[in-house]
């Protein structure tokens, strides 16, 4: 479960909240009104680098006089933990929540509405990133950070195969793979059958919608030829790989496979390189990144924007204090610092300069404007619960089924999940 | 951890007669008899109270939930939405549920048969070994048995990993080159094969060690008598060993059925019920539907149905127990 | 039987035992071996059979995880208490069930057999709601008592077998010698039961030590969690850190392995001794 979740969120975490322990509610305003209170923040493992956490804590405590406690959450079982936590007397006050999961939680009434926050600090949040925080026309979370996939490649393998220059179009990329294949010393790209977020990006690129309205309910739109088109592209990628057709990119970790030096490239998050380097430090100097090239050189491939939002629990007794925290954590200063430290895409385009000098981040940024997410409907969460029918569809196509037959095969399960009672 | 539960019942009748409590104590004072009459209930009180409070209450709660529409929203807002028999109607009318049920029964059957046969054989082997070899093998068995299932599953996933897994490497070296990159978790059958291997591997020690312990209690005279009657090795096995072990085997089979049927950790952790939900057994199905997909009311309904099915599976043994206890009193 | 056949008869059980030994031990060995290997040797086209470049790196990763020692303390507390409570409660009940005649005895026995079938993993949400409404979240108490309950039926039924295997005459002669029934129990039966208590407790240890779904949602505060949550930590966003996972699994398994090796020998020999007398 954890892995799907992870994948869902891509890089980002799910959510963090701030839970306050004891003390009365935060109706007091002004610096002194918060004294003696403690705000609890749930952040996912990996979302809050030490320096950032320390600096934000200091700034927050200075401004409000209250304390903040970060509780780092593990991925395993996070949804169940979050759902149950939101039902408790002392929910975490602020929490990190995956962008695609926000609508489902907004609909439960577990998230506090944040219209005024959006007005005061969110006027210039990147549109494609903010979309996921809005449900039914209202703001229920704040975009925190995002990440999207790039091509992580082995410069040495590319060079030895005679590939010069960075591929600017999809066709050029496949040419490069052909050369590596012809050379015969390395697998051109590692592409397991169920890298579903990469596939989601491809469908965004072809303009496909995964679901459509049928009357007042949502149903599968997998049979759409545009989905098939995206799958054809995926299939082409997979044809260069011997990776398992029924596994996602985390089993085995694609970066560890890549670390052996016998793989030309993989599509992944920039930080996955660190995993590769840990497995084989010698690979570091050979690692490079580029934006996933699209059909034409002027528009990169569609990408899934995995992201994290910050939300406030509706049941929190410290609404005001929690908002103060968001204002600080999401300020240009700390948003920029987080972007720099994690190499993630910040919530404003103007802050993207913080990625300078980070090759992975620089490769990712150009695709943000044309990126997208999974369908932003509360019903969607059920679709990605394992076993994700879209992954089943992908494996079926890669194993030789036609697009139409595979789409039909999973349609029943897909629709059943979309129809689940909320 | 021995299943000797029924052993005393198989002892010769005259021994049991004494057990049943006849003569001497009865001659004691009548007042004492009255206190004694209460004693068993007092002794049982803590166990009974614990069971009612800690198992009975959750079961009742679970029963109540099974009649509710309880999803994320209702849980978070603490709403109670009764929906009558809807959950049961939906579960019982879904072909998935019945498929999973049949699969669970077959899976349990296959595993229990393997465990009992292989476990018995290993147990008999232990009885034949010399002292040193026996101790060595015992330690090996205990190591496998004692592996916490979470750790064991992780190790098996690692052994059977498609890339860098030892099993594929060994098969490749042995000449089965097509196995070099074999994905064990790709199909229903081979996923079950791995899970079965794991479960059987961890369950054999329990059966074998206990069975070995049981064989050591068979009085030597019985064998001597059998060989005086001209019985060969096989004959004395069937006429002395087996009858002696039968109650033990019944009790162990009963336990193994329960354990295998409820083998949630192993099946869930190895592939989360995949590929394609094809290796979900009932507890995993209940967990994924109810907990993973956050349809808690539905999950509760499946949980109760799971108990009913397990009851049906073990009814035969429970009847034997009922009957036996009756005879004894 | 002719001589050659009996030689063969001596060789094959030993040969078979060796094969079995390797089969049973290898996965355990592989866990430890992997834990000691550098990552490069773990992810390797050709398996590295022995950890030649011995490293403690993965153990360091595992042990320096946040709150590790708190989790250890919690796990030990919860497990030991759950097992102790279940032993005491089960012992009382098993004595009644194995030794006394009373109305409803059969019902109790079958009742506890049924209790053994409870599917705890799928009852977690009901338990969660009970504990939440009792305001007992993030506490070790609910964990302890529910783990106790998970192992109680098995403990009770198994102990009943052990109690039943002790010759009744022993107890009766003690009573004739002027002991009261409780005295007879403590002086005569309890010592004979020691191996039985030890071996039944193993099952309890494993169950309580491993429990995951319940602690996952009952105790969200890091200070109130147990070790199974810690193991899952190393299978992360970026896939699995096999080295750290195996190191964590090794550390997780060691207490139980040691306990088994220590108790099982006594339990088996004690049991057989007791049973033969019966």
Supply angle C-alpha C121, B103, A250, rounded to 5. Answer: 65
Q: Among B47, B59, B144, B313, pick the best mutation site for testing chain C contact (most C Cβ within 10 A).
A: B47
What is the DSSP code string of A137-170? TEE-SEEEEEE--EEEEEHHHHHHTT--S---SH
Which residue of chain A is at minimal alpha-carbon distance from C213? A77
Name the residue facing C102 among B41, B147, B214 (closest C-beta).
B41
* CB of A354 closer than 8 Å to CB of A336: yes
Cα distances (Å, whole numbers) of residue A359 to A270, B283, C204? 8, 47, 53
- Helix and strand numbers (H, E) in chain C are 13, 2
Q: Return the residue matching tokens 């305003």.
A: A29
CA atoms within a 13 Å half-sphere pointing along the CA-CB vector of C94: 30
* Closest listed residue to residue B287, CA positions, set B271, B305, B303: B303
- How far is CA A92 from each of CA A38, A258, C142, rounded to the nearest angstrom? 11, 39, 21
- Closest chain C residue to A87, measured at CA: C132
Instruction: Report the C-alpha gap between A242 and A252 in whole angstroms.
Output: 13
Cα–Cα distance list, B269 to B120, B157, B272, C235 (Å): 28, 9, 6, 12
Please answer yes or no on whether C28 and B321 come within 8 Å at the CB atom. no
Compute the distance between CA of residue B301 and CA of residue B316 in angstroms, rounded to an integer. Answer: 25
The predicted model scores a pTM of 0.81
Mean pLDDT of C58-74: 89
- Contact by Cβ (8 Å): C229, C248: no
On the question of pLDDT at B284 being above 80, the answer is: yes
Smallest Cβ distance to B163: which of A252, A385, A392?
A252
Residue B291: which CATH number?
A: 1.10.3720.10
Q: In CATH, what class is A150-303+376-418?
A: alpha beta
How far is Cα B246 from Cα B240, in angstroms, rounded to an integer? Answer: 10
Q: Hey, is the C-beta of A45 within 8 angstroms of any chain C C-beta?
A: yes
Tell me what the mean pLDDT of segment C7-11 comes to.
Answer: 75
Q: How far A331 CA lies from chain C's nearest CA (Å)?
A: 27
> Which residue has 């926050």 as its token pair?
A117
Omega of the bond leading into A252 within 30 degrees of 0 (cis): yes
Mean pLDDT of chain C: 83
Nearest-by-CA chain A residue for C221: A71
SS3 of chain B: helix, strand, coil, percent, to 5: 80, 0, 20
H/E segment holding residue B265? helix B264-271
Nearest CA in chain A to B164: A252
Find, in chain A, the residue whose alpha carbon is nearest to that of B180. Answer: A242
Taking residues C185-191, what's their average pLDDT?
Answer: 78
Question: For chain B, how many structural domains are there in total?
Answer: 1
For residue B120, the model assigns a pLDDT of 93
Neighbours of chain C (3+ CB pairs under 8 A): A, B
| DSSP type of residue C116 | T
Q: Is residue C38 part of a domain?
A: no
Question: Which of B35-39, C22-26, C50-54 is the least confident region?
Answer: B35-39
Please give the structure tokens belonging to residue C233.
């930590």
- Tally of domains in chain C: 1
Q: Summarize pLDDT for C237-264 with one digit per residue, the tens.
A: 445 678 888 898 899 989 888 887 777 6
And the tokens for A1? 């479960």
* Chain A to chain C Cβ contacts (< 8 Å): 74
Q: Is residue C134 pLDDT above 80, yes or no? A: yes
Decide which of A387 and C225 is more confident: C225
The Cβ-side half-sphere exposure at A143, using a 13 Å CA radius, reads 28
Inter-chain residue contact A250 with C240, CB threshold 8 Å: yes
Residues 75-134 of C with CB under 8 A from B: 88-90, 92-93, 95-97, 100-102, 105-106, 108-119, 121-127, 129-130
Within chain A, all domains assigned CATH 3.40.190.10 are found at 2-147+306-368, 150-303+376-418
Candidate CATH numbers 3.40.50.2300, 3.40.190.10, 1.10.510.10, 3.20.20.70; the one for domain A2-147+306-368: 3.40.190.10
- Domain that includes residue B115, residue range: 86-328
The per-residue b/e assignment along C107-128, b for 16 or more CB within 10 angstroms, e otherwise, is: ebbeebbbbbbbbbbbbbbbbb
Q: Alpha-carbon distance A194 to A398, whole Å?
A: 10
CA–CA dist B69, B81 (Å, integer): 5
Residues of A in contact with B294 (CB under 8 A): 79-80, 83
User: What confidence score (pLDDT) does residue A14 get?
Assistant: 33
- Give buried/exposed letters for C245-273 (b at 16+ CB in 10 A, else e): bbbbbbbbbebbbebbeebbbebbebbbe
B140-178 confidence digits (pLDDT tens): 998 898 888 888 988 898 899 877 788 988 998 888 888
Put simply, the answer to whether B300 touches C125 (Cβ < 8 Å) is yes
Q: Is A189 left (phi over 0), alpha (psi -120 to 50) or beta?
A: beta
**Cβ pair A80:C216 closer than 8 A:** yes
Task: Establish, for the pair of chains B and C, how many residue pairs have beta carbons separated by less than 8 Å.
Answer: 310
Asked if C43's CB is within 8 angstroms of A259's CB, the reply is yes
C-chain residue closest to A44, CA distance: C237
Chain B partners within 8 Å of C264 (Cβ): 138, 142, 209
Query: Smallest Cβ distance to B72: which of A83, A257, A387?
Result: A83
Nearest alpha carbon to residue A194 among A374, A412, A7, A416: A7
The greatest distance separating any two alpha carbons of chain A, rounded to the nearest whole angstrom, comes to 70
Residue C235 to chain B, least CA–CA distance (Å): 10
Contact A99, A373 (CB under 8 A): yes
Distance CA B142, CA B212 (A): 13
Q: What are the CA-CA distances from residue A114 to residues A85, B130, C44 (Å)?
A: 20, 76, 50
> Out of A387-401, B31-45, B46-60, C213-227, which region has the weakest mean confidence (pLDDT)?
B31-45
**Residues on chain B touching C21 (C-beta within 8 angstroms):** 136-137, 140
Per DSSP, chain A holds a count of helices (H) and strands (E) of 19, 14
Tell me if B151 is assigned to some domain: yes
Structural contact between residues B326 and C98, judged by C-beta atoms closer than 8 angstroms: no
Task: Say what the pLDDT of residue A157 is.
Answer: 95
User: Which among A223, A193, A229, A198 has a CA at the least distance from the CA of A210?
Assistant: A223
Tell which C residues from 21 to 80 touch B, by Cβ distance under 8 Å: 21, 23-25, 27-28, 30-31, 34, 42-47
Which chain B residues are within 8 Å of C129, Cβ to Cβ? 61, 65
**B71 chain-A contacts, CB cut-off 8 A:** 420-422
- Which of B69, B71, B72, B297 is most worth mutating to test chain A (most A CB atoms within 10 A of its CB)? B72
Structure tokens of B80?
């109670």
Buried b (16+ CB within 10 A) or exposed e, B248-285: bbbbbbbbbbbbbbbbbbbbbbbbbbbbbbbbbbbbbb
C-beta of residue C17 within 8 angstroms of C-beta of residue B133: yes
Strands A67-73 and A38-44: parallel
Kindly give, in sequence order, each residue whose CB lies less than 8 Å from that of residue C95, ignoring residues fewer than 6 positions away: B43, C163, C185, C189
Enumerate helices (H) and strands (E) in chain B, giving the number of each.
Answer: 17, 0
Range of the domain at C99: 67-277
Residue B307 and residue C118: Cβ atoms within 8 Å? yes
Residue whose C-alpha is closest to residue B111's, from B187, B186, B202: B202
Q: How far is A416 from C116, CA to CA, in rounded Å?
A: 35
Token readout for A137 is 């026309």
Least reliable range by pLDDT among B17-31, B153-167, B271-285: B17-31
Answer with the residue of higher pLDDT: B21 or C130: C130
Where chain A has pLDDT below 70, the residues are 1-32
Asked if B295 contacts B289 with a C-beta cutoff of 8 angstroms, the reply is: yes
Closest-CA distance, C65 to chain B, in angstroms, reads: 18
Query: For residues A142, A145, A148 and A150, what is the CA-based torsion angle, rounded to 10 degrees?
Result: 160
Q: Is residue B34 part of a domain?
A: no
Nearest to B71 among A84, A385, A422 (CB): A422
Q: Given a contact as 3+ CB pairs under 8 Å, which chains touch B?
A: A, C
Q: Is residue B80 part of a domain?
A: no
Residue with tokens 């429970």: B318
CB contact under 8 A, A72 and C66: yes
Q: Name the residue among A40, A43, A101 with its Cα closest to residue A73.
A: A43
In angstroms, the CA A372 to CA A306 distance is: 9
Place of tokens 């005459």: C169
Residue A392: predicted pLDDT: 92
Count of C-beta atoms within a 10 Å radius of residue B9: 16
**List of long-range contacts for A115-121, beta carbons under 8 Å, 24+ apart:** A115/A139, A116/A323, A117/A142, A117/A323, A117/A326, A117/A327, A118/A142, A120/A327, A121/A326, A121/A327, A121/A330, A121/A331
Strand partners, A142: A310
CATH number at residue C145: 1.10.3720.10
What sections of B52-187 are H helices per DSSP?
Answer: 57-65, 72-77, 86-93, 95-128, 131-146, 149-159, 166-173
Q: Do the beta carbons of residue B10 and residue B250 sit within 8 Å?
A: no
Q: Do A87 and B294 touch (CB under 8 A)?
A: no
Nearest to A94 by CA among A48, A32, A36: A48
Residue C219 lies in a domain: yes
- pLDDT interval class at C216 (50, 70, 90): confident
Residue B3 pLDDT grade (very low, low, confident, very high; cuts 50, 70, 90): very low
Are residues B148 and C209, on separate chains, in Cβ contact within 8 Å? yes
CB pairs under 8 A between A and B: 75
Residues of C in contact with A256 (CB under 8 A): 39, 43, 239
């Amino acid at each position: 479960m954890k892995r799907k979740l992870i994948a869902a969120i891509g890089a980002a975490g799910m959510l963090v909240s701030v839970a306050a322990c004891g003390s009365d509610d935060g109706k007091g305003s002004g610096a002194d009104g918060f004294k003696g209170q403690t705000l609890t923040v749930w952040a996912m493992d990996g979302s809050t680098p030490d320096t950032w956490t320390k600096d934000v804590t200091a700034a927050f405590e200075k401004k409000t006089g209250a304390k903040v406690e970060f509780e780092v959450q593990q991925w395993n079982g996070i949804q169940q933990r979050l759902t149950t936590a939101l039902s408790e007397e002392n929910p975490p006050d602020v929490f990190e929540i995956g962008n695609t999961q926000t609508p489902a939680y907004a609909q439960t009434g577990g998230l506090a509405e944040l219209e005024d926050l959006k007005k005061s600090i969110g006027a210039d949040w990147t549109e494609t990133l903010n979309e996921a925080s809005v449900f039914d026309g209202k703001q229920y979370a704040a975009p925190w950070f995002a990440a999207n996939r790039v091509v992580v490649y082995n410069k040495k393998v590319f060079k030895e195969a005679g590939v010069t220059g960075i591929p600017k179009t999809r066709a050029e990329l496949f040419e490069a793979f052909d050369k590596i294949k012809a050379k015969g010393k390395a697998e051109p790209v590692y592409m397991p059958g169920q890298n579903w977020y990469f596939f989601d990006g491809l469908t965004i690129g072809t303009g496909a919608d995964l679901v459509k309205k049928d009357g007042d309910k949502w149903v599968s739109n997998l049979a759409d030829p545009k989905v098939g088109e995206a799958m054809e592209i995926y299939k082409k990628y997979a044809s260069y790989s011997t990776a398992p057709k029924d596994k996602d990119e985390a089993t085995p970790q694609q970066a560890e496979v890549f670390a052996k030096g016998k793989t030309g490239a993989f599509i992944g998050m920039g930080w996955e390189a660190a995993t590769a380097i840990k497995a084989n430090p010698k690979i570091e100097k050979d690692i490079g990144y580029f934006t996933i090239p699209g059909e034409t050189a002027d528009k990169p491939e569609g990408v899934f924007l995995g992201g994290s939002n910050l939300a406030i629990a509706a049941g929190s007794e410290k609404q005001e204090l929690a908002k103060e925290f968001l204002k600080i954590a999401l300020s240009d200063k700390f948003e920029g610092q987080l972007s720099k430290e994690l190499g993630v895409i910040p919530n404003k385009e103007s802050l993207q300069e913080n990625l300078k000098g980070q090759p992975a981040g620089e490769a990712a940024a150009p695709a943000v404007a044309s990126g997208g997410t999974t369908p932003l409907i509360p019903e969607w969460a059920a679709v990605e619960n394992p076993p994700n029918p879209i992954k089943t569809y992908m494996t079926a196509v890669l194993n030789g089924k036609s697009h139409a037959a595979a789409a039909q095969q999973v349609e029943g399960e897909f629709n059943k999940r979309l129809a689940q009672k909320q | 951890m021995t299943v000797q539960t029924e052993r005393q019942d198989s002892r010769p009748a005259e021994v049991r007669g004494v057990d049943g409590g006849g003569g001497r104590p009865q001659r004691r004072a009548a007042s004492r008899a009255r206190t004694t009459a209460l004693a068993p209930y007092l002794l049982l009180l803590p166990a009974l109270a614990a069971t009612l409070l800690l198992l009975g209450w959750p079961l009742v709660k679970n029963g109540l939930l099974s009649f509710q529409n309880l999803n994320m929203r209702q849980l978070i807002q603490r709403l109670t939405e009764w929906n009558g028999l809807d959950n049961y109607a939906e579960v019982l009318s879904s072909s998935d549920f019945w498929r999973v049920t049949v699969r669970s029964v077959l899976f349990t059957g296959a595993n229990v048969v393997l465990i009992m046969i292989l476990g018995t054989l290993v147990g008999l082997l232990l009885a034949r070994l010399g002292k040193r070899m026996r101790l060595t093998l015992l330690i090996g068995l205990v190591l496998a048995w004692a592996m916490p299932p979470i750790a064991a599953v992780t190790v098996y996933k690692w052994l059977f990993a498609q890339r860098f897994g030892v099993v594929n490497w060994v098969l490749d070296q042995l000449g089965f080159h097509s196995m070099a990159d074999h994905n064990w978790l790709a199909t229903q059958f081979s996923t079950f094969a791995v899970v079965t291997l794991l479960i059987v591997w961890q369950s054999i020690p329990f059966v074998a060690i206990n069975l070995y312990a049981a064989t050591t209690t068979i009085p030597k005279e019985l064998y001597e008598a059998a060989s005086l009657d001209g019985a060969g090795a096989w004959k004395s096995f069937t006429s002395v060993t087996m009858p002696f072990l039968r109650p033990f085997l019944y009790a162990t089979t009963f336990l193994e059925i329960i354990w295998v049927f409820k083998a949630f950790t192993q099946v869930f952790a190895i592939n989360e019920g995949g590929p394609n939900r094809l290796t979900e057994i009932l507890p995993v199905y209940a967990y994924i539907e109810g907990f993973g997909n956050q349809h808690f009311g539905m999950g509760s309904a499946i949980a109760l149905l799971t108990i009913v099915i397990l009851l049906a599976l073990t009814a035969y043994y429970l009847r034997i127990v009922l009957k036996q206890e009756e005879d004894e009193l | 039987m002719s001589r050659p056949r009996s030689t063969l008869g001596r060789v094959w059980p030993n040969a078979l035992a060796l094969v079995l030994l390797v089969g049973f031990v290898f996965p355990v060995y592989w866990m430890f071996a992997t834990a000691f290997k550098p990552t490069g040797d773990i992810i390797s086209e050709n398996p590295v059979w022995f950890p030649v470049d011995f490293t403690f790196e993965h153990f360091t990763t595992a042990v320096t995880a946040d709150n590790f020692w708190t989790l250890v303390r919690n796990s030990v507390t919860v497990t030991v208490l759950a097992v102790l409570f279940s032993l005491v409660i089960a012992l009382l009940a098993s004595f009644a069930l194995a030794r006394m005649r009373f109305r409803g005895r059969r019902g109790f026995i079958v009742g506890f057999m049924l209790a053994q079938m409870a599917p705890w993993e799928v009852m977690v949400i009901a338990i969660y709601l009970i504990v939440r409404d009792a305001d007992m979240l993030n506490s070790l108490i609910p964990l302890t008592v529910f783990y106790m309950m998970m192992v109680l039926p098995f403990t009770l039924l198994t102990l009943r077998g052990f109690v039943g295997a002790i010759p009744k005459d022993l107890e009766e002669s003690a009573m004739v010698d002027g002991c009261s029934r409780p005295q007879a129990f403590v002086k005569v039966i309890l010592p004979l039961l020691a191996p039985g208590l030890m071996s039944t407790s193993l099952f309890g240890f494993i169950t309580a030590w491993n429990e995951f779904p319940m602690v996952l949602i009952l105790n969200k505060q890091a200070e109130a969690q147990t070790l199974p949550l810690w193991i899952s930590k190393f299978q992360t966003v970026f896939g699995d850190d096999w080295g750290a996972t195996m190191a964590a699994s090794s550390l997780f398994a060691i207490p139980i392995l040691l306990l088994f090796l220590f108790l099982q020998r006594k339990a088996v020999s004690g049991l057989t001794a007791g049973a033969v007398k019966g």
